[in-house]
Structure 1
């Protein structure tokens, strides 16, 4: 919870105790004024969010009770026998109210906190820019052309002594749309995410510490958003990469275009295809990535916004993705030889990659249970338990086969024993309920160290980090193995 929220809740608990223990009416007025002052400052500096709704309502009620007790302080009262019993009932009510309010409000602001994404560890500040791209060569349902939104993170230049640097707020629109799609709950419940803080500066100049920077493409999971791994994009950009995350329109949960139009995924969140031979969607996504790459070349030749002209090294390109985005990364490596290397973060391999493989170096980053679903989860899908078991056995065998021999380039496999499918994204930062059994910061640090070591060697062409030769293992909650075929 935020500082003023905690103080405001504590003051209201004290205010409730003032009625329980019959504080002097003047003291109640002082608490009332203190609560009002804190409330105004809280709303002005931190902003309203519905998780504090109980406190806002309680302020009004206690103000009424305080004014009433102050007015009646010197009034004559008729003492009747039932007064003692009434006081006992009131005490019980106050005690219950204090307990319910304390547990409810502290729980709400703790379970759905206002958070700060972890600070990137690289030497660069991080800039961020969004683009609206239109592929006139492809039709997309009711759309005349395939429209895509992309987000670009990049090494930024901040002048010495610069003041009032404004970091972007967490992208709550994309995330609330995604949460609505996944959990079928109203978007407004997640509006508080707008108070979350990032480490990205919008449209700031690209750093001049290097002439140009290599490019990394990212593909999100099914029914997710290009903003799903915001902290990871910042981390990679801080180490000298231009990182581009692509919204696969209609496959993403929610996409908003610059003119205000919203594209919302109309399918069921559990309608994902558990068929590795269902290649249509992953090929469409691969075409998205190649189109974006074409557009980046155009932007690099002459950026109309004046940011990236000549600043992207289009001869050094990598790709990675999470879940179905990992499938997309593999497919794009097969389809587009301009890309040097790729990483699949907990995604299955689909056809034709499953049969053909490819030549570029590749890293698997997987959860130990690797896309496993329990019987309870399977009942929400469109397949039976037996069909899912067959699918799960197949994707597991394919990952092992392509790690060992199916992919011609060097291969690596990083398997996390802790966490789950969503721990690889920014989901755990949204609530401690998602990450109660794991150190999320440490998990992400380990994952990002391996990703950087991989791309630094196979995209930046730096010397192979000992981390990738199993000479160095940093924690017990993951396992790493390498299959370097070309020395």
Structure 2
């Protein structure tokens, strides 16, 4: 809970505890009730209201009416009312804990961080799903960059981008200030493109984006309309995802159909990423907003992605000569890069789950499980072969599950309860996972985009939770 949330909650609880066994209202009860109301008003005005605390808001309001408000009708809290009020306060505290307004890890670099969101239209590509009159493919991108000066933190999500359950994300403040000037030292900055997960959005790995930006990199995150769960354009239009389950193992036919969808999606998303690279060049030559002109080093570009974004990163590395290196955060690989490898320096780090083997395929309890194990065996074999071709690195984050590779592990502690959530977080603490991943991301892109090699990838992992090794031709 945030400071003023705790304050008005804590000011109300003693009043209710007194009213459990007393009917008289001494002066301190009336004063504390008034203080609680004032704190609630300050909370709404400065921190922002959220539905999770509505039970507490109602309780504070009723206590104010019964203990402070001078006019009729005359009400009283009473023992029963006090018990109900305490129950409502407890419910509000539970909801607030389940859906916290969390703090992202503070970036460790010397630069403040800035950010802007841009709308871009690709005149060369049609999009059959769009409602644009010209039928062209359009994207939303967000850029994080080293800034000349700090400023107030930008919201993690805009309200229009959230749902009822996720509205608290719009109250989270990042460490990036909107629209501040780019740092002029050292001139042009290397660029890293971020590709999100299957239904993910541009800001899902804000922690990593801000960390890289604080160390001098410009990071460009992509929303893929009709693939990202919800994309909101500047004119208020929305594009919702239209795609099915990632891989459907129910039958051979459903698996084949979802695989075709995945390959088609990969083609579109890689084209999106390559268009973003074109836009990076245009922004460097002449940014209409005046922020990035002459500040982007288009000769030093890397890419990383989470989940399906890792596949986009691998494919972009293979197909686009502008991308010098790539990093995959726990994602299957598809397309040509699964067969030929990424063709560039590449790192793959995966979650801590037992990896299926050929024996698991043979002993699967049913056909759906057999198909699932087969896909896993084939994909991980292809990933290792591709990494070996480029002497890339393969790692396992012990205690980490799929959610721990992005910001979503902060969204709710419920994610650590596997029976409750279909995409749980692992046992590793979110801050610890971010520290490990950020250390390796930063070291990797420094090595391959700026020529600064700290030796991290040539030494045993300094983190006991990460097992990582370079693969060479012929094996692991």
In which range does the TM-score fall when normalised by the shorter chain?
0.7 to 0.9
Q: CA separation of 1:469/1:95 partners in 2, compared to 1, >3 Å: closer, same or farther? A: same
**Equivalents in 1 of 2:34, 2:342: separation in Å?**
69
**Equivalents in 1 of 2:55, 2:381: separation in Å?**
52
Alignment of 1:37-436 (within 5 A): 37-66=38-67, 91=79, 93=80, 96-97=83-84, 100-143=87-130, 144-158=135-149, 165-173=151-159, 176=162, 187-268=163-244, 278-369=262-353, 384-404=368-388, 407=389, 409-434=390-415
3-state secondary structure, aligned to 2:291? coil
Q: CA separation of 1:190/1:359 partners in 2, compared to 1, >3 Å: closer, same or farther? A: closer
CA contact (8 A) 2:8 2:37 kept: no
**Equivalents in 2 of 1:269, 1:474: separation in Å?**
37
**Equivalents in 1 of 2:54, 2:189: separation in Å?**
47
Q: CA separation of 1:72/1:260 partners in 2, compared to 1, >3 Å: closer, same or farther? A: closer
Match of 2:362 in 1: none
TM-score by length of 2: 0.85
Q: CA separation of 1:29/1:446 partners in 2, compared to 1, >3 Å: closer, same or farther? A: same
**Equivalents in 2 of 1:371, 1:251: separation in Å?**
28
**Equivalents in 2 of 1:371, 1:247: separation in Å?**
31
State the Cα deviation string for residues 169-213 of structure 1 (Å, max 9, x = none).
22144762xxxxxxxxxx123222222111101111111111101
Which one has the largest radius of gyration? 1
Q: CA separation of 1:210/1:61 partners in 2, compared to 1, >3 Å: closer, same or farther? A: same
Tell me how far 1:391 sits from its aligned partner. 1.2
Q: CA separation of 1:306/1:32 partners in 2, compared to 1, >3 Å: closer, same or farther? A: same
TM-score by length of 1: 0.83
**Equivalents in 1 of 2:177, 2:32: separation in Å?**
41
**Equivalents in 2 of 1:65, 1:129: separation in Å?**
48
3-state secondary structure, aligned to 2:125? coil
Q: CA separation of 1:129/1:67 partners in 2, compared to 1, >3 Å: closer, same or farther? A: closer
Tell me how far 1:70 sits from its aligned partner. 11
CA contact (8 A) 1:326 1:347 kept: yes
* Residue 6 of structure 2 is aligned to residue 35 of structure 1: no
Q: CA separation of 1:134/1:402 partners in 2, compared to 1, >3 Å: closer, same or farther? A: same
3-state secondary structure, aligned to 1:137? strand
Give the superposed CA RMSD: 2.7
State the Cα deviation string for residues 9-32 of structure 1 (Å, max 9, x = none).
122221211221215324343333
3-state secondary structure, aligned to 1:51? helix
CA contact (8 A) 1:172 1:190 kept: no
3-state secondary structure, aligned to 2:176? strand
**Equivalents in 2 of 1:358, 1:346: separation in Å?**
15
3-state secondary structure, aligned to 2:415? coil
Structure 1 unmatched runs, 5+: 74-89, 177-186, 373-382
CA contact (8 A) 2:325 2:345 kept: yes
Q: CA separation of 1:174/1:432 partners in 2, compared to 1, >3 Å: closer, same or farther? A: farther
Tell me how far 1:333 sits from its aligned partner. 1.2
State the Cα deviation string for residues 423-471 of structure 1 (Å, max 9, x = none).
1111122223335832211211111111111111112122x3221012x
How many residue pairs match? The answer is: 439
